[in-house]
Amino acid sequence: MMDEKKPARDWPEKLLTWFDGHKRDLPWREDKPRNPYHVWISEIMLQQTRTEAVKPYFNSWMERFPTIHDLAEAEEAEVLHQWQGLGYYSRARNIHKAAREMEETYGSRLPDDKAAILALPGIGNYTAGAILSMAYGKKEGAIDGNVLRVYARLYQVEEDILKSRGRKEIESLVEATLPDRAGDFNEALMDLGADVCIPKNPRCSLCPLAGECVAFRNGKEKELPRRSAKKPPKEEAAACGLCIREGRVLLHKRPSKGMLASMWEFPMALAEKEEDAKKGLEQLLSGTTEDCLWTYKHVFTHRIWHMKAYPVKEVAVPEGEYRWFSPEEYREIPLAGPHARLAAFVEKMVD
């Protein structure tokens, strides 16, 4: 008798057949055989960024750093500049450090051994599984949010997938179902999660697994996966100073540790309230602010900046890493994500 709670054993085959006919054309999937360096960089870029947005970054990255050796030889500032706009810059720093380790230890190649890959900076279980399965043909799973969602629905996993019990349950299901074509299977799950088994309103009528899916059979596809409520992000007012002197703007280099480390930004003060942020900025620059010229809301994972930019008169340059830059100069330095937007706005003022 068929177990009502489980999809048929051969569902991975059905998914692979669907994948063979539907796989997305993506620049990092073009090489035959797959290039481990391409898999690695694309997977790191895709961690926090939509696929469509990643494509141009991936292409220009590969033009600038065609090999691990080119990347290892580059200066960190150049690597960060190339990453600019993708956010979460620790990813770029780790890529750079890992490339240098590979240059020194593995002859500028990505190792094909799991323990060695996991020991590299910025490579966790998911990325290691993706590289090993897609580029080296090993039978490894790669569990990310898409996979958790698809399995939670397919097997009607009622546990919270953000807690260890739910995650473990899915990990053992993945291990038990992984076929020999693990790399294709992992990519098929990614494509299914991106286009069909999407977070809200899954498109079950288009799904190759609709006949297998327990949540769909029981009308629970929109209820699952279960996940505990996240803490709301911290909201802050960010007052940014526009200090322009003889066609140059004043910028500040952030500390080498913490959020947006070592990136350049406009002088900025953060506070809970807008008025306090503005006062903080006036104190920082010992000047007076004029009317706000630019506003922008930047959403990070755990915080939101409500940014406002004010021209500041009578500036005294504070202690620390502050420097005046022309637009030609600041186009070449790594600017912290939201500040790059402000820089584009300021460029028009300076010209």
Residues lying near ligand SF4 in the complex (CB under 6 A) are found at 150, 153-154, 196-197, 202-204, 207, 209-210, 213, 215-216, 221
Q: How many helices (H) and strands (E) does the chain have?
A: 15, 9
- Which residue, 205 or 256, is less far from ligand SF4 as judged by CB? 205
- Which residue, 198 or 344, is less far from ligand SF4 as judged by CB? 198
Helix or strand or coil: residue 48? coil
Could you say which of 43, 187, 221, 265 is catalytic?
43
Which of 30, 338, 39 has the alpha carbon at shortest distance from 183?
Answer: 39
CA count, 13 A, side-chain hemisphere, 33: 9
User: First-to-last CA distance in the chain?
Assistant: 76
Residues near 163 by beta carbon (within 8 Å), at least 6 away in sequence: 228
- Minimum distance of ligand SF4 from residue 215's CB (angstroms): 5
Is 43 annotated in the active site? yes
Cα distance between residue 156 and residue 152, in whole Å: 5
- Minimum distance of ligand SF4 from residue 112's CB (angstroms): 32
Cα distance between residue 223 and residue 241, in whole Å: 46
- Which residue, 124 or 199, is less far from ligand SF4 as judged by CB? 199
DSSP annotation of 29 reads: G
Helix or strand or coil: residue 67? coil
| Contact indicator for 350, 244 with CB cutoff of 8 Å | yes
- Minimum distance of ligand SF4 from residue 209's CB (angstroms): 5
Residues near 15 by beta carbon (within 8 Å), at least 6 away in sequence: 185, 188, 189, 192, 208, 209
- Which residue, 53 or 206, is less far from ligand SF4 as judged by CB? 206
Cα distance between residue 76 and residue 84, in whole Å: 12
- Which residue, 5 or 245, is less far from ligand SF4 as judged by CB? 5
- Which residue, 203 or 273, is less far from ligand SF4 as judged by CB? 203
Parallel, antiparallel, or unpaired: how do β-strands 303-313 and 288-289 relate?
antiparallel
Catalytic residue numbers? 43
